[in-house]
Structure 1
Amino acid sequence: MQSLGIGLIGTGFMGKAHAIAWANANRVLGGLPPVRLELLCDTPIEKAEAMAGQFGFARAIDDWRRLVDDPAVDVVSITTPNALHRPIAEAALAAGKHVWCEKPLGVTLADGEAMAAAAEASGRTTLVGYNYLRNPAFQHARRLIEEGRIGRLFHLRGFVDEDYQADGSLPWTWRSRRAEAGLGALGDIGVHLVSLLTGLGGPIVSVVAEAAAAYPTRPLPEGGEASVENEDIASALVRFEAGFHGTLVISRAAWGRKGSLGFEAHGTKGMIRFDQERLNELELYVAEGAKSEAGFRTILTSGEHPPYGAFCPAPGHSLGFNDLKVIEAGELLRTIAGGERARPDFAEALAIERVVYAMAESADRDGSRVAVSAMGG
């Protein structure tokens, strides 16, 4: 297979995750197009050069425009702050590159719509970083629901809680500014929750929501305070296209929570529950057998839950966050080589974001019900 040149923009948390994924996707999963780690971009150039050496990229640069135009680059990884997602993605697609972009698509719904349109016009492969969808435990939950193991699904409850904004003394950053971050907790972590719940229950068609900032202002490093322009916490009642309801609770100011992203799927014959902080476990309750033995059973991920076995032959030995990114990179490479569509692409990611923008709109309207279809499209 012809090799693909990789260009990575950004070297923070997600930049490193992408670098690890690109280096290991073929080693772990096999049968994928080989990659060349061609070009890394960050500023200043000294940082870019140091990180290129650490991550194994051949060259470093401090101008993303030159990266997307470089003929040696076939795929662009975008792991920058949110405000740069749209211009980089549009330029990369116009240059004929495939794009792997972290969520959210941009800082406004219009950004996402423009990016989806650019992707469709380009004919290139796109993928957005919803790596939690790749968890073998989550995929097994989907199979259990599809097979009717818990009967007819009639309610979904979801939560996503982190505490990176729980301390009121933390200084104001770009994450609190709409022009640079867009939505707050909804756009940063709420979209992950929507991706899971719609992956289990299908499209969400309307929402009733409330949202608030835990701290209306935050201190500036140079003194004084600045307003927090987006939400830290949100909750919503949602209606699925399939006819049942659900609840979502979202917070980036929940002390003690580090990566708590989970759900309860309630059916007529049982229930499934999951929490990403224990990402290798799935709990299943089936209403059958003796009542004296009723209770949840814990399913540990293993080779029975693909692609766990590609990483480790031993059950219960656990995958991690970066392993999910490896799976994600593998799916993108397989699509580029002519396989099934990588999901969610820009169009599907836009559908996820329309749900959280509908929540924000509902909160702005004092909790009025808002149809997701009213949010563009």
Structure 2
Amino acid sequence: MSDTIGVGLIGTGYMGKCHALAWTSVKAVFGDGPRPRLRHLAEASTDLAERRAGEFGFERASGDWRQLIDDPQVDVVSITTPNAFHAEMAVAALEAGKHVWCEKPMAVHLADAERMEAAARRSGRVAILGYNYIQSPMVRQIEELIGQGAIGTVNHVRIEMDEDFMADPEAQFYWKSEASSGYGALDDFAVHPLSLIRVLIGELTRVFAQQAKPYDSRPTQGGGRRAVETFDIANVLFEVGDVSGILAVNRSAWGRKGRIALQIFGSAGSILYDQERMNELQIYRASGAAAGQGFTTVLAGPLHKPYDRFIPAPGHGLGFNDLKIIECHELLRAIRGEPARVIDFSAGLGIERIVHAMARSHRDERWVRP
């Protein structure tokens, strides 16, 4: 492999900036692998593309993402556009021989996700999805604890994901309330908890779901109101073999900012974790004298890899963007043919099938197997 890799970025919103920061920082943090070269940035207009390219440090800018795909200096493409555009862009990039780092969810329609996965297999290129929460040093530690049998045999899981960016009933209508973006909380939110369940517990085997709209309409920019077409709340019963579970997601939960609250119960203890306090976990071991039993808090530190690549001292804490840098490094490992902790398009398609099974369960009011 060359000592550099050419990067293309499509989309420069919140997640686009996260990707740009990750590409800029990954070499400095980890030291190994090729040095990313920020070759080409594409946006909806040339003016916006040029402005963002100047801010992010990209060499070229285009108002047409196809020009980026055709650029021979681009080896890997970051796709951070709204959900409806993922499939067309990812397939085009793979067919052009590029590696792909696409934000979740994979696609709005299952058939599009299947096309993306097939394109990745045909191309032989690396294609992964932006499931950065699995990269957390504390999530890695939870996986290790479960593997060591620290809480015995896992028998029940509860996981919640809540934010309040859609909690205000008078917040203006935008694309996340359009049916073209997907189901709503299920594919916008639930996919993140599903990635954690996949890594820590395994594949869901059966689901029973219910979705809800807290608000039927939202104000539009023109002064009227528009019917909300997606569900901001979803509740799911699920099974992973013999393990039972509960999943609850809410995009309109006042006071919750970035909550992914995970509780894992086993025959010999429990583990608790919350993304709002991402640098700690709690573990309860049902051993020893009962009077001395209780939850122990573990703070993230250099012993919890790859925390040590960022900070040499415990208790200082990593952040969301640091998880993206770790994810970027795992992508580069995969491109080099090394073992990597990623959700590739094959695994991502499995998550998409579960989401669509949940939607069918809500529609048909019954248990569904993905």
TM-score range, shorter chain: over 0.9
The secondary structure found in structure 2 opposite 1:370 is: coil
Query: What TM-score does the superposition give when structure 2 sets the normalisation length?
Result: 0.98
Alignment of 1:73-88 (within 5 A): 73-88=74-89
Alignment of 1:292-371 (within 5 A): 292-341=291-340, 343-366=342-365, 368-371=366-369
Which amino acid letter does the alignment assign opposite residue 348 of structure 1? Answer: A
Which amino acid letter does the alignment assign opposite residue 198 of structure 2? Answer: T
Q: Is the 8 A contact 1:45 1:61 kept in 2?
A: yes
Q: Whole-Å Cα distance in 2 between the matches of residues 254 and 100 of structure 1?
A: 30
Q: Is the 8 A contact 2:135 2:341 kept in 1?
A: no
Q: Is the 8 A contact 1:193 1:262 kept in 2?
A: no
Q: Is the 8 A contact 2:29 2:309 kept in 1?
A: yes
2:115 maps to 1:117: no
Q: Whole-Å Cα distance in 2 between the matches of residues 251 and 235 of structure 1?
A: 9
- Counting matched residue pairs gives 369
Q: Is the 8 A contact 2:45 2:64 kept in 1?
A: no
**Match of residue 224 from structure 1:** 224
Which amino acid letter does the alignment assign opposite residue 188 of structure 1? Answer: D
The secondary structure found in structure 2 opposite 1:371 is: coil
Q: Is the 8 A contact 2:233 2:249 kept in 1?
A: yes
Q: Is the 8 A contact 1:75 1:100 kept in 2?
A: yes
Q: Is the 8 A contact 1:178 1:230 kept in 2?
A: yes
User: Which 5+ residue runs of structure 2 have no aligned equivalent?
Assistant: none
**Match of residue 25 from structure 2:** 24
Q: Whole-Å Cα distance in 2 between the matches of residues 256 and 159 of structure 1?
A: 14
User: Which 5+ residue runs of structure 1 have no aligned equivalent?
Assistant: 373-377
Per-residue CA deviations over 1:174-209 (Å, capped at 9, x if unaligned) read 111112x11201111110011112221101011011
Alignment of 1:1-377 (within 5 A): 1-2=1-2, 3-179=4-180, 181-241=181-241, 243-341=242-340, 343-366=342-365, 368-372=366-370
Q: Whole-Å Cα distance in 2 between the matches of residues 152 and 307 of structure 1?
A: 27
The secondary structure found in structure 2 opposite 1:285 is: strand
Q: Is the 8 A contact 1:160 1:251 kept in 2?
A: yes
Per-residue CA deviations over 1:60-110 (Å, capped at 9, x if unaligned) read 111100101100000000000111101100100000000000001111111
The Cα shift of 1:171 comes to 1.4
The secondary structure found in structure 2 opposite 1:332 is: helix
Q: Whole-Å Cα distance in 1 between the matches of residues 341 and 308 of structure 2?
A: 21
The Cα shift of 1:342 comes to 5.2
**Match of residue 375 from structure 1:** none
Q: Whole-Å Cα distance in 2 between the matches of residues 238 and 207 of structure 1?
A: 4
Q: Is the 8 A contact 2:41 2:49 kept in 1?
A: yes
The Cα shift of 1:229 comes to 1.4
Deviates more, 1:312-321 or 1:288-297: 288-297
Query: What TM-score does the superposition give when structure 1 sets the normalisation length?
Result: 0.96
The secondary structure found in structure 2 opposite 1:25 is: helix
Q: Is the 8 A contact 1:126 1:342 kept in 2?
A: no
The Cα shift of 1:164 comes to 1.0
Per-residue CA deviations over 1:21-51 (Å, capped at 9, x if unaligned) read 0011111012111111101111322221121
Q: Whole-Å Cα distance in 2 between the matches of residues 300 and 197 of structure 1?
A: 22
Q: Whole-Å Cα distance in 1 between the matches of residues 54 and 130 of structure 2?
A: 24
The Cα shift of 1:224 comes to 2.3
Per-residue CA deviations over 1:269-312 (Å, capped at 9, x if unaligned) read 10000000000001000011222222111100111110000000
Q: Whole-Å Cα distance in 2 between the matches of residues 144 and 17 of structure 1?
A: 30
Q: Whole-Å Cα distance in 2 between the matches of residues 300 and 108 of structure 1?
A: 40
The secondary structure found in structure 2 opposite 1:302 is: coil
